[in-house]
């Protein structure tokens, strides 16, 4: 007997919710870091069976910034080619790539 479709809670949900909330506040031109964070989270939550609120809000951010996913990925490839996005923050915090 198969398990019914049950939404799961992502292990990074709490931390990611904070990041998504910050991205939702960006109404003008997003920074390189904002763009990279959005792309990272879209990839993380793509096809994840749950976290529907985060998935929905990531789409809201994408729409607010008037970007398609493909446009976002083109921009972030250029940013990553420069190699300066995920360095330690001024507070010394290492960024999450999981």
Per-residue pLDDT tens over the stretch 46-74: 999 989 999 999 999 999 999 999 999 99
Q: Is residue 47 situated within a structural domain?
A: yes
Q: Is residue 57 situated within a structural domain?
A: yes
- Distances from the Cα of 13 to the Cα of 23, 30, 53, 55, 83, angstroms: 15, 22, 10, 11, 26
Percent of the chain topping pLDDT 70 = 81
Q: Is residue 6 situated within a structural domain?
A: no
- Mean pLDDT throughout 26-55? 94
Number of domains observed in the structure of the chain: 1
- 56: containing domain: 13-82
Query: Which of 18-28 are b and which e, b meaning 16 or more Cβ less than 10 Å from the residue's Cβ?
Result: ebbeebeebee
Which is more confident, 2 or 40? 40
Percent of the chain topping pLDDT 90 = 64
């Amino acid at each position: 007997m198969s398990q019914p479709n049950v939404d799961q809670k992502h292990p990074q949900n709490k931390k990611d919710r904070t990041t998504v909330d910050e991205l939702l506040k960006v109404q003008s031109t997003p920074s390189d870091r904002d763009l990279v964070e959005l792309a990272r989270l879209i990839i993380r939550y793509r096809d994840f069976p749950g976290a529907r609120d985060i998935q929905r809000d990531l789409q809201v951010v994408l729409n607010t910034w008037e970007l398609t996913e493909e446009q976002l990925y083109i921009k972030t490839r250029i940013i990553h080619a420069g190699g300066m996005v995920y360095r330690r923050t001024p507070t010394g915090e290492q960024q999450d790539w999981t």
